[in-house]
Structures are given as C-alpha cells and as structure tokens.
Amino acid sequence: MTDVRRPAGYLCVARSCDPAAAVRRQTMLLAAAQRGWPAPAIYAEAGEDQQAGGYGPALRRLEAAITAGRHDALLLTAPGTLGDAEPLMHLLARCTALGVPVSFVMTTGAGASGAS
C-alpha cells in the first residue's frame, strides 16, 4: 500500500487536553510512516464531543470525507478503544465498498504501534 497519498486517521480520547491525545496522534504519524504513507489527516473525537456509543462529529466528518474520495487509506486505533461497534462497522463497510484500505494501530504503553 505504498501508493497511498491521502490517508486519514481516527482516534478517540477522553478529553481534548488529555496527554494521551498527543501520544495517540504521534502513534498515528509513526504508523503511517512505517507503511510508507504521508502523514494522515487526523480526525479526533474527544470525550466532550462524543455521543452515546463514543462517536461524534469527527466520525461523521471522516465518513463524509471518505465518501467524497478525499482519503485513500484509513488508520484506526484498536477497535476495543472506539466504543459502540455499529458506527464503526458502518465506516468499515463504506471503506470496503470504496476500496479504502483500513489498518488498525495499537496505542498502548508509550505509543507503540502495531500493524494489521
């Protein structure tokens, strides 16, 4: 997948000022670099923005951007950290239908990343 030119990354954090937010962003950047991708556009959902299930406006913006063809790959934090499965499954189905590869990133510890 080295031909990726417009990746996106989606992550959820407890609060926008949460120190883990910076670590998770850095982990996303590292994961993209390890795949030979440019830095992803990050869509971050903070706890104060999340609705029931853990999703909010950032997920809607991301899905709209993918549907419009603005991203050709997606990095996601590990599924267990993202909340309710239904919105995530909808996003993954949309990516599959559009041929947008999805890769999961582990954001544990000091920001170690794992490939899917």
Does the pTM surpass 0.95? The reply is: no
Can you give the pLDDT at residue 115? 43
Enumerate the domain spans of the chain: 7-105
7-105, which class in CATH? alpha beta
Query: What is the largest distance, in Å, between two alpha-carbon atoms of the chain?
Result: 36
Can you give the pLDDT at residue 113? 39
Can you give the pLDDT at residue 15? 61
pLDDT tens, the chain, 116 aa long: 459 999 999 987 766 666 777 888 899 999 999 999 999 999 988 765 555 555 678 888 999 999 999 999 999 886 555 556 788 888 999 999 999 999 988 865 443 434 44
Cβ atoms within 10 Å of 107's Cβ, excluding its own? 24
Three-class DSSP category at 15: coil
Can you give the pLDDT at residue 50? 55
DSSP 102: E
Q: What are the tokens at 44?
A: 């971050």
Q: Do the beta carbons of residue 32 and residue 38 sit within 8 Å?
A: yes
